[in-house]
Amino acid sequence: MTEWRGIPRTDIPWFPTIDAEKCIGCRECISICKNGVLAFDEAIRKSKVVNPYNCVVECRTCARLCPAEAIGFPDATWFNEFITEKLAARGKP
């Protein structure tokens, strides 16, 4: 995906972050995400974000299903305001 609602995908800071302290290395997030956003780092035995802009904007499935609650996304209120401003700047509702 190169654009989302007319906004270049690389201009949208929507992708997961992984708290390495909480990650238990179960790989559940990797098996859930079919977009190659995540990979397993064998050296540290934890998941990591490798292709952040492959993440589907507003998808939080990996975070919802993480048994360790180690995955986070941008704050929803902040993100909605950010997108509203981007769309307004493009002259779209």
What pLDDT digit, counting tens, does each position of 49-78 carry?
999 999 999 999 999 999 999 999 999 999
Q: Give the global pTM.
A: 0.89
The per-residue pLDDT for range 4-18, each reduced to its tens digit, is 999 999 999 999 999
pLDDT at 92: 64
What secondary structure does DSSP assign to the chain, as a single string? --EETTEEGGG-----EE-TTT-----HHHHH-SSS-EEEETTTTEEEES-GGGSPTT--HHHHH-TT--EE---HHHHHHHHHHHHHHTT--
pLDDT at 76: 94
Which CATH number does the domain 3-89 belong to among 3.30.70.20, 1.20.1630.10, 3.40.50.11890, 3.40.50.2300? 3.30.70.20
